[in-house]
Structure 1
């Protein structure tokens, strides 16, 4: 089993980052979905209480994953040729863009807000006496909405996996699951 990517499959590090981030993103959506469905309950409070630390961890992992992808750029399995390959690259690009933008907006909001930001008890930003509206307003407007767009993109990503596996039978899932 390779730890780096190859032309025929993804390495252990890429797979661990992919599936770990998938689990954390699912955690975030479960929590926010429960919040929408149930309102304020102890279960929802538990999930919401983990939202900022998990989001911070996700942001660190997406930065690490981006650096790792660049380091493995010439080694990774290539996308299909033609329009399908271009669509795959565009879809992955949008996923990465959303995964960077969403936590960036949350960090901007935390930096400009009045409450201290200390994920996992580590002080990152002290609370301000006066909120910086130019920092918090865009984040308040876009963070959640872009997250739901990310959710749609993730569903599209999963749908494409099903298409690859059930219709095209090209082994795409096997490359990401480590069976190749």
Structure 2
């Protein structure tokens, strides 16, 4: 598993249909997503948001929809909110690396950048990947089979978001094709001096 940055325009598109979809930017601070946590039957990849530490995490237990990132000396670094996992087409995510982090998020200085990268590495090290993968799949199945349950009510609407993910992919392909077609017409006109 790795950290990923999701396209803001795509996530805002999803937010139109489901208010539970998480914000991905807070005053220039990008939210990282863990991925790929699950692949649906339609081979759509799901990503789950990293959530910063909050004092209430001390009383919460790891569950099918929530995983605390706990390091040495039981220090809680943050959490993975599986209830907020979202489907993302391949064109709308990219891996967060040490080299591209500064282009994805604002930092006051290089020290802040280095410290944040170290934190991301540390958090990834403490994530139980098997637990995340198993929980994401179980959660998806549970919500699909029990859409009116309390658990489903605090989760993103996975089925709806998958439909919107597919629509977005078609919309982007159509737009790209139309742009390509326009560029080719423009080139043809240039060649015949129109």
TM-score past 0.5 threshold? no
Q: Which has the larger radius of gyration?
A: 2
Higher strand share: 2
Higher helix share: 1
Superposition TM-score, scaled by structure 2 size: 0.28
Superposition TM-score, scaled by structure 1 size: 0.29
